[in-house]
Amino acid sequence: MASCLLISSGMVPPDGRSRVVVEHVRPQVDDGEFAVKRTVGDALIVESDIFADGHDAVAGEVLYRHALDEDWRRLPMTPAGNDRWRCEIPLPEIGRYRYTVEGWIDRFTSWRGDLIKRIDAGQAVRIEYLVGAELLDQAATRAADAEADAAQLREWAAALRGTEVAMSKQVALADEVAAMMERYPDRRFATRYGKELALVVDREKAGFSAWYEVFPRSCSPDASRPGTLRDCEARLPYIAAMGFDTLYFPPIHPIGQTARKGKNNRIAAGPDDPGSPWAIGSAEGGHTAIDPKLGTLDDFERLVAKAAEFEIEIALDLAFQCSPDHPYVRQHPEWFRRRPDGTIQCAQNPPKNYEDIFPFDFETPQWRELSEELKNVVMFWIARGVRIFRVDNPHTKALPFWEWLIGDVKDRHPEVIFLAEAFTRPKVMYRLAKAGFSQSYTYFTWRNSKQELTDYFRQLTETELREFNRPNLWPNTPDILSEFLQVGGRAAFVIRLILAATLGANYGIYGPAFELCENAPREPGAEEYLDSEKYEVKHWDWDSPRSLKDLIARINRIRRENPSLRRDANLRFHETDNPSVICYSKSSAGLAETVIVLCNLDPFHTQSGWLNLDLGSLGLDPNRTFQAHDLLGGARYLWHGARNYFELVPETRPAHIMKVRRWVRTERDFDYYL
C-alpha cells in the first residue's frame, strides 16, 4: 500500500545509497550568509557531525579552495568524539576561500574492524578475506593514475585471495594497507554538506596592530604656523620609537567655509578658525584632494614611502559626507536629500545639528552612480599607496553599500584593511563586521569595572563574535574623553593603556593627547575635549617630561616580542578576591608561551589580595614552582600553586604583565626555566 501511495503521489524515493549525514558544520556566520574571518598563518578549525545508520564506519574530509583555485583541496577529518569530526586548514595565503564538508561510508575500515572481531572470536574468516580483496581491487582502479600504488593494492588483494592464512591475516591487519586505502577512498555515495561556506583571510595586520592617531595640522614644531605633511614626516621617528605600526590621519582634504565650526564647536567661526576636517570639500577639491595648507599629493606619496622605512603604514579616514562647498554638491545635487523648502538636509543626531556637513542620500534614484563614485575615491587612494582605511560613522550609510564596496575592493586588493568607527547599537555594529569590515571600534571605552570588562570580553572572544568581529580598542578618540580618564589622572591613562594593549590584539590611541594625559572636558558631564583639536590647531609639547611615551614604547615592545598577545580568542580570565583587580592570561599555541596580566582598576588606591590562577588552562603543574617575570618592572616572582599574593600601587605599579617561565626537567635531572 505504501509503495502505491508513493507512485500515485508522484513522490520519488531518495537515493538510499547516500547514507551519511553531514550537519552542524562550524564555524559559520548566520547559517553561512557571511564569511568567517582569519588572518594569514592561522588555521581554520572546521568541525562537523558525520554519522550514518547502522554500524558502518564513516570518514570525512574538508573541501576548501582559494578564490583563485579551480579545484577543491581536500584534508581528512579526524574523530573528536560522539560523531563529531574535526580538521585544521592551514591558511598561508590572504584572500577569499570557500569550504564545505563531505562524508561517506568507509567500507574498508568497517570490513577491517569486523574482521578483527571475528578473528578474536575464533570464527572462520576465509570469505571475509575475499571481501577485502574486492575492496582492494576497487581501490586499485581508483588509483589508476598512480601505477605503483595500483600495483601494490592488487598485490595485496592477491595475498588475501591466497591460501596462506598467515599472509592473508598479515595483509588484512597491516597499517600500511590501511594508510594506502585512506588515500583512495570510495566516495561514490558521499554526502556533501548543503552549503559552501565563505572565509576571508586577511594579512597579519588585520589581526594585530597598534594605531596612533594624529592631526597633521598640529604637527608643526613652530607655534606660529599650522603643521604640514612634511612636518608629519619629521614626526615619524617619534611615532616609530613608541612602537606604533599604523599612523592614522583624520581627513586631510580641503575644508569647507560655509557653516564652518569655530573653536569648541561654536556655530560661528572666526576668521582664523581652520574648521573641522570632517567638513570635507571646498572650491579647492573634495575627497581626492589634499588641503593645500597641508601640502600636495606628491608630499603625501613621499610621506607614505618614508613611513614604510619605519615599518609604519598610513591609514586614511573615509568620511563619506560633504561640506556645503564640496564640488559634489554643485555637480551632483541629486546625491543629497532635500527638505520641503528645497534646502539640503544637514547631518543630524538630534538634538545635535552638524550644519557644516551634508550626508549623502543612499536612497537616491542615482544610488548606483553615487556608489561607484565613492568606490572610485577608495581606489584613488589605493593607487597612492594607502592600504588601510578608518571609516567614519559607517552605521549612518547603507549596509548593503558597504558589503558591495568592501567586497569589490578586496577582490582586487585583498590586502586592504577597513576599520569601522561605529559606536552604535550592537546589532548594527556586528552587521558591519559581517558586511566585511576588517576591524571594529568597541564599547571598551565605557567598560571600567572588573565585571563589565570580564563580561564584555568573554562575549567578544567566547561567542560567535570571535568568528567575524575583530575588536580594535581605543582608550580615547578626538570625540571621546571618557569619565575615567577625566577624573583618574595619570594612573587612569596607564591603566587604560595596559588594558587596551593586552586585552586586544588591535588597539590605538589618539595622540599626543593620550601620552600627555590631556583630560580636561569641555564641560562637566561631557565627553568632548576642552579646546578640541577637531576645531583648532594644537601645538603639543611632544617632549614633555610627563609624557607616557616611554611606557607606551615598552608595552608595544612587549606586544611584539610575545606572540600570545597577538591574538584575541586565547583570552582567559582568572579569579581574584579583590573586585578592583582584574587578572587574565593569553597563551600561544600549545601553551609554549603564556603571559599573565594583573591590573589595578582603581586609579586612586593601592589594591592587594589573592590571585587564584586556573593552572590547567595555563598548562602549569600545581605541584611545581614557576617563575613570573614582570615584563613591565623587571621583577621576578617565584609562585607555587594557584593561589598567590599581589599588591598594586596606581601611581608607580598599577599592573604586572608577567611572562610565565616553567620548570623543565632534562634527562640528567637538571632543572631550568623555559
pLDDT in tens, 46-92: 999 999 999 999 999 999 999 999 999 999 999 999 999 999 999 99
Last residue of a domain, one of 544, 561, 578: 561
* Residue reference for cell 581508483: 142
Does residue 326 lie within any of the structural domains?
no
CATH code at 316? 3.20.20.80
Alpha-carbon gap, residue 274 to 256, rounded angstroms? 9
pLDDT tens-digit readout, 90-125: 999 999 999 999 999 999 999 999 999 999 999 999
Q: What is the mean pLDDT of residues 584-598?
A: 93
Instruction: Tell me, yes or no, whether 285 lies in a domain.
Output: no
Among the ranges given (2-16, 385-399, 500-514), the one the predictor scored with the smallest mean pLDDT:
2-16
Kindly state whether residue 166 falls inside one of the protein's structural domains. Answer: yes
Q: Are 170 and 209 part of one and the same domain?
A: no
pLDDT higher than threshold 70 for residue 4: no
Cis preceding linkage at 221, omega within 30? no
Does 93 lie in the same domain as 172? no
Q: Tell whether 282 is covered by a domain.
A: no
For residue 647, give the CATH number of its domain.
2.60.40.1180
Which of residues 561, 581, 599 is at a domain's end? 561
pLDDT in tens, 398-424: 999 999 999 999 999 999 999 999 999
> Mean pLDDT over all residues of the chain?
95
2, pLDDT greater than 60: no
What's the CATH number where 43 sits? 2.60.40.10
Domain assignment present for residue 189? The answer is: no
- Three-state DSSP at 658 gives strand
pLDDT of residue 114: 96
* Domain total of the chain: 4
Q: Is residue 303 domain-shared with residue 398, that is, in the same domain?
A: yes
pTM score: 0.94
C-alpha 292/C-alpha 536 separation (Å) is 17
Long-range contacts of 258-262 (CB under 8 A, 24+ apart): 258/323, 258/324, 258/325, 258/356, 259/323, 259/324, 259/346, 259/355, 259/356, 260/356, 261/355, 261/356, 261/535, 262/535
Identify the domain containing residue 2 by its residue range: 1-98+198-202
Instruction: Tell whether 541 and 415 lie within a shared domain.
Output: yes
pLDDT at 673 over 50: no
Q: Is 8 exposed, middle or buried (0-12, 13-18, 19+ CB in 10 A)?
A: exposed
Within this chain, do residues 576 and 460 fall inside the same structural domain, yes or no?
no
Active centre residues (catalytic): 392, 421
Q: Looking at the structure, do residues 582 and 551 belong to the same domain, yes or no? A: no
Check residue 353 and give its pLDDT.
Answer: 81
The answer to whether residue 264 is domain-embedded is no
Query: Which of 522, 537, 561 is at the close of a domain?
Result: 561
Assess whether 551 and 583 both reside in one domain. Answer: no
For residues 235 and 310, membership in a common domain is answered with: yes
d(CA 92, CA 580): 42
For residue 674, pLDDT beyond 90:
no
Residues 553 and 635 in one domain: no
pLDDT of residue 584: 98
| Angle (CA) 346 351 357, round 5° | 20
Give a yes or no: residue 279 inside a domain. no
User: Over 64-114, what HEC string results?
Assistant: EEECCCCCCEEEECEEEECCEEEEEEECCCCEEEEEEEEEEECHHHHHHHH
Whether 348 is covered by a domain: the verdict is no
With a cut of 80, say whether residue 662 has pLDDT above it.
no
